[in-house]
């Protein structure tokens, strides 16, 4: 694919929703863009603010927490899979997720999951809820505090 055509497609692709560098690299491979054009296209996208890592991280954190109801551990792991880590991630987690909202989400997930589980043994129920919330990426100590006792 030619440089001009690839740049045009990349701008449209980035305009649709926030993207990261890994997303763009995958697209370049799918579109058969020449390797020597990748840097020029990415530089242009960064200069013209089509790609913005901070904006991407904030959108990712917001979306995964509010829509998918993920905990902080799972969000960080998801960003690491996208080759994004560091202080920007920590800053976004702290600015996009209020502590009270986080605790309320844990309580809400416990209530919803309790309704779905048909478990008469309270210890087994507690164990299932604990494992479920850990799989959603919530911190062990917060989950234990919020779990119902007996």
Domain spans of the chain, in order of start: 3-47, 53-96, 99-146
According to the model, what pLDDT value does residue 150 have?
A: 55
For 56-99, the pLDDT digits (tens) are 999 999 999 999 999 999 999 999 998 988 888 888 888 888 88
Mean pLDDT confidence for 104-123 = 88
The three-class DSSP label of residue 67 is coil
Of residues 70, 82, 146, 141, the one with CA closest to residue 129: 146
| Eight-class DSSP state of 137 | T
In this prediction, residue 134 carries a pLDDT of 93
- Residues 40-67 have a mean pLDDT of 90
């Amino acid at each position: 694919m030619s440089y001009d055509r690839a740049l045009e497609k990349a701008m449209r692709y980035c305009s649709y929703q926030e993207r990261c560098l890994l997303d763009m690299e995958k697209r370049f491979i799918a579109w058969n863009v020449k390797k020597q054009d990748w840097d020029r296209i990415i530089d242009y996208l960064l200069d013209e603010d089509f790609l913005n890592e901070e904006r991407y991280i904030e959108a990712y954190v917001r979306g995964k927490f509010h829509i998918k109801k993920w905990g902080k551990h799972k969000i960080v792991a998801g960003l690491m899979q996208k080759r994004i880590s560091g202080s920007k991630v920590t800053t976004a987690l702290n600015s996009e997720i209020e502590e009270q909202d986080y605790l309320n989400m844990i309580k809400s997930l416990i209530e919803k999951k309790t309704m779905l589980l048909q478990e008469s043994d309270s210890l087994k129920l507690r164990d299932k809820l604990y494992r479920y919330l850990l799989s959603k990426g919530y911190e062990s100590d917060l989950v234990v505090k919020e779990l119902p006792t007996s």
